[in-house]
Structure 1
Amino acid sequence: MTPGRYRHFKGGEYEVLLVARDTETEEPVVVYQALYGERGHWVRSLADFTAHVSRAGYDGPRFVAVGSAGSHRAADSVVEPLRRD
């Protein structure tokens, strides 16, 4: 997984900072920050971050890459869906 800017399927944009490991399970987790509101920091398992979502009106990846790390350009150019590497 590459650090950078990602768009959540509900529309919010986030900056992925790094991939870490859970202290108990050693499962990889994604550390990311909201690029709106209070710009809170969040942690989600890599499996969940890269999961496919099927909801009413949407069927696709939970997050889609929209720019490189530190990018502050308009997020209208989707680069590629996120992969579990």
Structure 2
Amino acid sequence: MEIKLGKYRHFKGNEYEVIGIARHSETLEEMVVYRALYGDAGIWVRPAEMWNETVERDGKAFQRFTYIDE
């Protein structure tokens, strides 16, 4: 699944902006580089595979991140 640059909503409600896709220097695993759109606007990385996961909470399934805007 392609990961677009732009705004996403985490299943817990916070919003983030994907600013790039990078590769881990040792494993070459694709990583999503993203910025929080709240608080101190920290920059984070997460494996692309995990970004696209479906998670379960309170017996319901959710996409971990849902694209909302460019």
TM-score (norm. length: structure 2):
0.92
Return the structure number with greater relative CO, CA threshold 8 A, min gap 6.
2
Any idea what the Cα deviations from partners look like across 1:13-58, whole Å, max 9, x if unmatched? 0000011000111000000000000000000000001100011154
DSSP 3-state at the match of 1:14: strand
| Larger deviation, residues 56-65 vs 11-20 | 56-65
Q: Aligned partners of 2:10, 2:59: CA distance in 1, in Å?
A: 14
Q: Is structure 2 residue 55 aligned with structure 1 residue 53? A: yes
Q: Percent identity?
A: 47
RMSD: 0.9
Number of corresponding residues: 68
Q: Aligned partners of 1:20, 1:51: CA distance in 2, in Å?
A: 18
Which of the pair is proportionally richer in strand? 2
Q: Aligned partners of 1:44, 1:18: CA distance in 2, in Å?
A: 11
TM-score (norm. length: structure 1):
0.77
Q: Aligned partners of 1:24, 1:30: CA distance in 2, in Å?
A: 16
Give 5+ residue unaligned stretches, structure 1.
69-85
Q: Aligned partners of 1:64, 1:12: CA distance in 2, in Å?
A: 11
